[in-house]
């Protein structure tokens, strides 16, 4: 398009110059003729010059009109083409799902045909991580494209997201997109306390009476046909509480359920995991119906579909922790008109990368304050495996999750994850970490059987005080259960990772590194005190 416009301008300038040269030659020729007294040259142009002048004027007008028509047509066509090429955007985000629990990752315990379809017809990421393993800050980081520690009150659960931090739905709306969300958008917290008049995810299409899929259909009906859309589908699945026994009732065989090594392998825990998996399947069912709705509307092929979660499964040593089951996310992306299908990418990505990806795909400038990096070049590449060499690590962390310590203080920590290692820095090792987890049958079992020899090590693994540093060799310890921070064989590795983490945090302006880190503990908790704090205070005796 740009080349055609430049060509038209070049033709216009060239013709104008040639006409001008012709005019100059004629004028000079006429002026060199010896005029006779009373001739037309002394008063007006000669008949020949008058004819040529009129001819030149007609030629110039015709040339100008032709060029303007062509340019106007190209500009109009450019607008249309731009509208066609700008993709619709559908973000489907589950609530508390670890990466491993999807069929595309080889899990046999859960059926996720919609997620698997997106992965099969697009790109499956194996090393995607959230910025923080807690609902509010994770969603805030995704929406703003910034690391959670840069978002002030937005870094805490039950906080607020100050208006000064731009979010991608607002930027897309300004650029002409129709935006909306259903279910759980940015949450939980107080939207208005940050100066906003609506949820950062956009206008709400309420699902409570009609369901997520119908709410999405209502959104599509409200959209002008020539307008691209950006929609946030935020399911509440698989967040607790669960209907106890729902997984087994859905047909799952508890004997087939895989239990991670950091949890006790008992019928109670297997049943709890089955209930969790059942809700993932319900989320996937809704996603599948939305994809079919888009196909029926003829919009699926030009829709950038992204499926992920906000943090890990709501079990001890998963959600709210910096171990893989808390931070590592499922991620599949589909956009048939642009993304080569059937690829698996192992590069490290952060959910903060999604906001700049959406903006670049829509042709919208990416704000300089976004710390995430667009995935578009990686998505449109034909490569699999390692695609971009610099994506060899990722950094994440957490602050306060729930009112589980008195007085309203968090468990601040940061981590750097590479292919081989996980290094964690705990800024307040004198605080007990195990308060921050949702109640349920698995937590109950750990507490009730804490004194049993088979359970005691797992109980302490989650609830005991932790040192200021943790280091795990993922090649030998995939569940991150053997802390090697004091092992002399890993001293060099620990120092390198510590330095690398601090450098990244300092560059990103993390208050825990540059100063005033305790400010996170002063931010208001916009809800009444809840959680497991009163219930778990007796665990402080665990050493």
The residue count for the chain: 543
> Is there a contact between 435 and 531 (Cβ–Cβ < 8 Å)?
yes
Domains of the chain in sequence order: 88-386 (3.40.720.10), 413-542 (no CATH)
CA 341 – CA 275 distance, rounded (Å):
32
DSSP single-letter state for residue 390: T
Coarse DSSP helix, strand, coil percentages of the chain, rounded to the nearest 5 percent:
45, 15, 45
Structure confidence at residue 3 (pLDDT): 39
Which residue carries 């669960």 as its tokens?
242
Distances (CA, A) of 328 to 166, 320, 394: 25, 12, 11
CA 370 to chain centre: 12
DSSP single-letter state for residue 508: T
CA 310 – CA 136 distance, rounded (Å):
9
Structure confidence at residue 435 (pLDDT): 79
Least Cα distance to 141 among 159, 155, 127 occurs for 155
Distances (CA, A) of 526 to 164, 190, 193, 208, 461: 19, 6, 9, 23, 31
Q: Is the peptide bond before 241 cis (omega within 30 degrees of 0)?
A: yes
How confident is the prediction along the chain (543 residues), in pLDDT tens digits per residue?
Answer: 443 444 444 444 444 444 444 444 444 344 444 444 433 333 344 444 444 444 444 444 544 454 444 444 444 444 443 444 799 999 999 999 999 999 999 999 999 999 999 999 999 999 999 999 999 999 999 999 999 999 999 999 999 999 999 999 999 999 999 999 999 999 999 999 999 999 999 999 998 878 999 999 999 999 998 999 999 999 999 999 999 999 999 999 999 999 999 999 999 999 999 999 999 999 999 999 999 999 999 999 999 999 999 999 999 999 999 999 999 999 999 999 999 999 999 999 999 999 999 999 999 999 999 999 999 999 999 999 999 999 999 999 999 998 777 777 999 999 999 999 999 999 999 999 887 889 999 999 999 999 999 999 999 999 999 999 999 999 999 999 999 999 999 999 999 999 999 999 999 999 999 999 999 999 999 986 554 434 443 333 333
> Is there a contact between 288 and 235 (Cβ–Cβ < 8 Å)?
no
Q: How many CA atoms lie within 13 A of 124 on its CB side?
A: 19
Lookup: tokens for 157: 């659960």
Which residue carries 């950091």 as its tokens?
262
Q: What is the DSSP string of 251-313?
A: T--GGG----TTS--SHHHHHHHHHHHHHHHHHHHHHHHHHHHHHHTT-STTEEEEEEESS--
Structure confidence at residue 483 (pLDDT): 98
> Is there a contact between 171 and 420 (Cβ–Cβ < 8 Å)?
no
Which residue carries 């030149």 as its tokens?
56
CA 30 – CA 26 distance, rounded (Å):
6
Instruction: Give the Cβ contact number of residue 191 at 10 Å.
Output: 19
Lookup: tokens for 497: 């990772």
> Is there a contact between 385 and 392 (Cβ–Cβ < 8 Å)?
no
Structure confidence at residue 154 (pLDDT): 98
Backbone angles phi, psi at 56, to 5 degrees: -65, -40
Please work out, in degrees rounded to the nearest 5, the angle formed at the alpha carbon of residue 273 by the alpha carbons of 269 and 275: 115
CA 418 – CA 473 distance, rounded (Å):
10
> Is there a contact between 431 and 405 (Cβ–Cβ < 8 Å)?
yes
Lookup: tokens for 389: 């060499």
CA 481 – CA 438 distance, rounded (Å):
21
CA 497 – CA 363 distance, rounded (Å):
37
Distances (CA, A) of 157 to 120, 335, 401, 414: 34, 33, 5, 16
> Is there a contact between 313 and 325 (Cβ–Cβ < 8 Å)?
yes
DSSP single-letter state for residue 475: T
> Is there a contact between 372 and 354 (Cβ–Cβ < 8 Å)?
yes
Strands 303-309, 328-334: pairing is antiparallel
CA 404 – CA 40 distance, rounded (Å):
102
Helix (H) or strand (E) holding 47: helix 47-85
Secondary structure (3-state) at 129: strand
DSSP single-letter state for residue 189: B
pTM of the model: 0.84
Least Cα distance to 163 among 179, 147, 143, 178 occurs for 143
């Amino acid at each position: 398009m740009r080349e055609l416009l430049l060509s038209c301008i070049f033709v216009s300038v060239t013709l104008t110059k040639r006409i001008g040269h012709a005019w100059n030659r004629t004028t000079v020729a006429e002026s060199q003729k010896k005029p006779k007294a009373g001739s037309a040259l002394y008063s007006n142009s000669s008949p020949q010059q008058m004819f040529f002048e009129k001819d030149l004027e007609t030629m110039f007008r015709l040339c100008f009109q032709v060029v303007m028509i062509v340019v106007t047509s190209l500009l109009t066509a450019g607008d249309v083409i731009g509208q066609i090429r700008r993709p619709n955007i559908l973000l489907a985000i589950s609530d508390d799902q670890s990466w491993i629990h999807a069929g595309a990752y080889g899990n046999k315990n859960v059926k996720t045909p919609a997620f698997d379809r997106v992965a099969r017809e697009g790109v499956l990421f194996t090393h995607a991580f959230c910025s923080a393993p807690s609902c509010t800050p994770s969603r805030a980081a995704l929406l703003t494209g910034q690391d959670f520690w840069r978002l002030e009150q937005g870094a805490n659960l039950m906080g607020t997201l100050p208006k000064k931090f731009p979010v991608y739905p607002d930027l897309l709306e300004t650029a002409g997109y129709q935006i909306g969300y259903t279910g759980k958008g940015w949450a939980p917290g107080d939207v208005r306390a940050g100066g906003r008049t609506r949820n950062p995810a956009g206008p709400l299409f309420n699902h409570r009476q009609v369901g997520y899929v119908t709410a999405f259909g209502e959104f599509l009906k409200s959209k002008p046909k020539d307008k691209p859309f950006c929609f946030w589908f935020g399911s509440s699945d698989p967040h607790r509480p669960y209907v106890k026994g729902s997984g087994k009732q859905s047909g799952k065989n508890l004997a087939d359920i895989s239990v991670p090594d950091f949890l006790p392998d008992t019928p109670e825990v297997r049943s709890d995991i089955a209930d969790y998996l059942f809700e993932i399947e319900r989320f996937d069912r809704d996603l599948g119906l939305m994809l079919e709705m888009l196909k029926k509307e003829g919009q699926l092929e030009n829709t950038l579909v992204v499926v992920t979660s906000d943090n890990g499964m709501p079990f001890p040593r998963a959600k709210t922790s910096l171990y893989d089951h808390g931070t590592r996310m499922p991620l599949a992306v589909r956009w048939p008109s642009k993304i080569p299908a059937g690829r698996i990418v192992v590069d490290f990505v952060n959910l903060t990368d999604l906001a700049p990806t959406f903006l670049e795909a829509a042709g919208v400038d990416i704000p300089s304050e976004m710390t995430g990096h667009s995935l578009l070049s990686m998505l449109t590449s034909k490569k699999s495996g390692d695609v971009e060499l610099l994506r060899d690590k990722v950094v994440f962390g957490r602050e306060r999750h729930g009112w589980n310590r008195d007085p309203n203080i968090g468990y601040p920590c940061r981590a750097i994850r590479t292919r081989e290692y996980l290094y964690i820095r705990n800024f307040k090792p004198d605080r007990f970490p195990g308060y921050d987890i949702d109640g349920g049958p698995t937590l109950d079992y750990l507490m009730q059987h804490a004194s049993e020899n088979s359970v005691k090590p797992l109980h302490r693994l989650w609830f005991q005080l932790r040192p200021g540093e943790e280091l795990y060799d993922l090649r030998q310890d995939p569940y991150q259960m053997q802390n090697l921070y004091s092992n002399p064989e890993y001293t060099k590795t620990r120092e390198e990772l510590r330095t690398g983490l601090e450098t990244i945090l300092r560059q990103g302006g993390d208050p825990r590194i540059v100063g005033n880190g305790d400010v996170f503990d002063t931010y208001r908790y916009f809800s009444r005190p809840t959680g497991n704090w009163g219930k778990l205070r007796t665990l402080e005796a665990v050493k």
